[in-house]
Every structure is written in C-alpha cells, then in structure tokens.
Amino acid sequence: MKYKSVGFGYMLPLHPWSLILELTKHCEAAGLDAVYMADHTVAFGIKRFDALEAWTTLAALATVTKKVRLGAIVSDVHRHHPAALAQMVTTVDIISGGRTVLGIGIGEGMNLIPFGVRHDKPTARTKEGVRLIKKLWTSEGRASCDGEFFSLKNAKLQPKPIQNPHPPIWIAGTSPSMLKLVAEVGDGWVPAFMTPEEFAKTLNEIRVMAAELGRDASEITPVCYTYCVVAKSDEDAENMIKVPAKMNLAHFSTRLRRYGVEVPEELRVTKMPLDESSARKLLEFAKRLPDETIENRFIYGSPERCIEIIEEFIKAGVQQFCLPLLVRYENMKDTLKLFAEEVVEYFKEA
C-alpha cells in the first residue's frame, strides 16, 4: 500500500500554553505534518474547562514553526462573524507563510449556550458563512450581499491569504445537509468518530454528489478525526481510552443508534451546556455504554495495533489524520513520542 499522500496531524490540548508550545515543537522535530487546535470557548472536562483561544494561539505557534500546517478543528460562524473569521485565518496564513487550514462546523452547545450565542438554523448559517468567507478571500473588488444571516456592503478584505486561491476549508458533519455542503463547496471533509466502513460509505456519497455538481471529487480531502491512545500494550491503551472515549461518543446519537442506544436530547453535542452538573450526567451515561461502541471508532492499542487500525482507515479513503491523544497532560509528551517514533515513522518508511 502507498502512503505518500497520507498526512498525520496532532490535535493539541487547549491549555496550558507551556505544554502547547512544547508539544508543537516536538511535532515539528518529529516530522508530523500538522498541529491543530479545537476552537472552543471552554474545554471538554468534568471539573476544569480551561481553554486558550485557538486562532491567537495558532498565530503564536506560526512564529516558532516552519513546516507544520496549522489549523482549527473546528471553528463556527455563530461565535465568529464570517468576515472576522476570514481575517483571523488570513492573518495566521500570512504569519505562517501559507500553512493554514480552516475547519468549520455547526458549533457545539458547550461553546454557545452558556454565553447566549445565537445558533438557530446552524446548517443554513454555516453554509452561508462558508460561501461568504470564500467570497471575501477571492474577490478582487468589493463584495456585497444580503443573506439570511449575514450581509456585506461594499466589503473588501485585504491583504489576501498567501495560499491560492485560499486556505482550504474542511467541513465537519455527517448530516445529509452538511454532506451536501461538503460536496458543493468543501475542500475537505472531517467527520468525528466514524468506523472505516461508515467513512468509506459516506465518502462515496460525497463524491457522487460532487460529481453530479460538476466538481472533481478528488479536490475534497478526506480527513479522519478520532481519539488515539498508543501504549506498550493493547490492554494498557484500552484501560486509558475506554471511559473518556465513551464520554465523547455519548454526544453523538447517530453513532450510537446502531447499538440500540438513544442519547437523551439534553446530552447531544449541539444541546448540552458544559458545566459540572451536565458533565457528570454525561459521564454516568457514558459508563453504561457497551464496550463494543468504541471498537473501530478510535485508534488505540500497541503501536502495531494502531498501525493496523490506521491502515483500515486509509483503505476507507482517509488522506489526513487529525488525532488527539486521549491521555492526561503529564503523559502527553511521552505518548506523542511513542506515536511519532513507532506509528508515524512506520508509514513514512513504508
């Protein structure tokens, strides 16, 4: 199997800055292709929710790196007006010398509800926002439009990004409307927590829709976002990932229905404000999920087992990996070192 076109990106923690900086430098030295940050107002936790703002942090990281791509997985147009988001990404693209990628999705309740951010009609709002960002990046003259959610009046964004025609926009989501948006205007597709079989089936649907719209489906980069734990043994990795993986998966009703599990409305990713009380409810719900729910959705085990799982995703069409290492802060550097030396290096040599 050929791996030349396969890239590996590491999902950085959201706090503290000293650890973010250290891990980024390690990724650059180890030859990883990218580092990403979640664009969150609050971090996913039970007792602590510390989070640095993604794009200002990425701008700082751009000044201490030379090779790795830098991106947010994912931003939204509820908290960020499309014009402001376009300028933020442009700024990082210029500082980094053209190494930026914009991930964009419909938003999460934890980042919106507690702060009173309006997020009605999220898919339609996201679609309009993506089109507006591209218009601002590519229009040579002034742009005007009067949309349902956003308006421009003789607007012009200068300077333009370094990347031509613009930084890639990777769209998150698996609903029919979001998949259609990927096929229409997405430069990449980044779903969360899919099995290789689900990924391959859905990617084919996107490619068929793109072809029907007259697009070259190969222009859409398939991205795998899932949690990863690599350890000396399969048992050690499973013990580390089992509960936190279930807790994250518990947000996604569409992933769990195949196991006969229905996620309560209050716990769904777009509905739940993340605080101590709701986080504990989510944890208790997650603990009751059967172990089979995390099989093939997460990459975990010894380096050899992780390689086997990654190969299955590559066969399913994945070209880029965006992998948070689901371990404690104090274990992140050692886990990243093992992942880079034993897993990433295998694919580079192959």
Radius of gyration of the chain (CA): 19
Could you give the CA distance from residue 144 to residue 327 in angstroms, rounded to a whole number?
A: 47
| Residue 6, C-beta contacts closer than 8 angstroms, at least 6 positions apart | 314, 318, 319, 320, 321, 347
> Which pLDDT belongs to residue 3?
77
**Taking residues 59-86, what's their average pLDDT?**
98
Question: Cβ-count burial of 268 within 10 angstroms (0-12 exposed, 13-18 middle, 19+ buried)?
Answer: middle
DSSP 113-158: GGGT---SSHHHHHHHHHHHHHHHHH-SS-EEEE-SS-EEEEE---
Which tokens is 285 given? 């719900």
Q: Give pLDDT tens digits for 175-214.
A: 999 999 999 999 999 999 999 999 999 999 999 999 999 9
Which tokens is 234 given? 């399969």
H-run or E-run covering 105: none
Which tokens is 151 given? 């308006």
Q: For residue 110, which of 159, 41, 63 has the smallest C-alpha distance?
A: 41
Alpha helices in the chain (DSSP H): 17-30, 54-62, 82-96, 109-112, 122-138, 176-185, 196-212, 234-249, 253-256, 276-287, 303-315, 329-338, 345-349
> Which pLDDT belongs to residue 151?
92
- Does residue 227 carry a pLDDT above 90? yes
**Taking residues 124-142, what's their average pLDDT?**
95
Q: Give pLDDT tens digits for 102-124.
A: 999 999 999 999 999 999 999 99
Percent of the chain at pLDDT > 70 equals: 99
- Does residue 93 carry a pLDDT above 80? yes
**Taking residues 112-141, what's their average pLDDT?**
94
> Which pLDDT belongs to residue 76?
97
> Which pLDDT belongs to residue 255?
87
Sign for the CA dihedral angle at 9, 173, 259, 249 comes to positive
> Which pLDDT belongs to residue 98?
98
pLDDT band at 268 (very low <50, low <70, confident <90, very high): confident
Chain-centroid distance, C-alpha 161: 21
> Which pLDDT belongs to residue 273?
85
Please write down the long-range contacts of 129-132, taking CB distance under 8 Å and 24 or more positions apart. Answer: 129/77, 129/82, 129/85, 129/104, 130/77, 130/82, 130/104, 130/169, 130/171, 130/181, 130/185, 130/186, 131/185, 132/82, 132/83, 132/86
338: how many CB neighbours lie within 10 A of its CB? 17
pLDDT band at 60 (very low <50, low <70, confident <90, very high): very high
Q: DSSP class of residue 64?
A: S
pLDDT band at 223 (very low <50, low <70, confident <90, very high): very high
> Which pLDDT belongs to residue 289?
92
Could you give the CA distance from residue 331 to residue 335 in angstroms, rounded to a whole number?
A: 6
Structural domains of the chain in order of their starting residue, each with its CATH number:
7-234+300-349 (3.20.20.30)
Which tokens is 98 given? 């053209």
Which tokens is 208 given? 């068929």
Chain-centroid distance, C-alpha 293: 21
Q: Give pLDDT tens digits for 17-44.
A: 999 999 999 999 999 999 999 999 998 8
| Residue 286, C-beta contacts closer than 8 angstroms, at least 6 positions apart | 243, 246, 247, 249, 250
Q: For residue 315, which of 301, 296, 300, 302 has the smallest C-alpha distance?
A: 296
Q: DSSP class of residue 100?
A: E
181 close to 130: Cβ distance less than 8 angstroms: yes
- Does residue 1 carry a pLDDT above 60? no
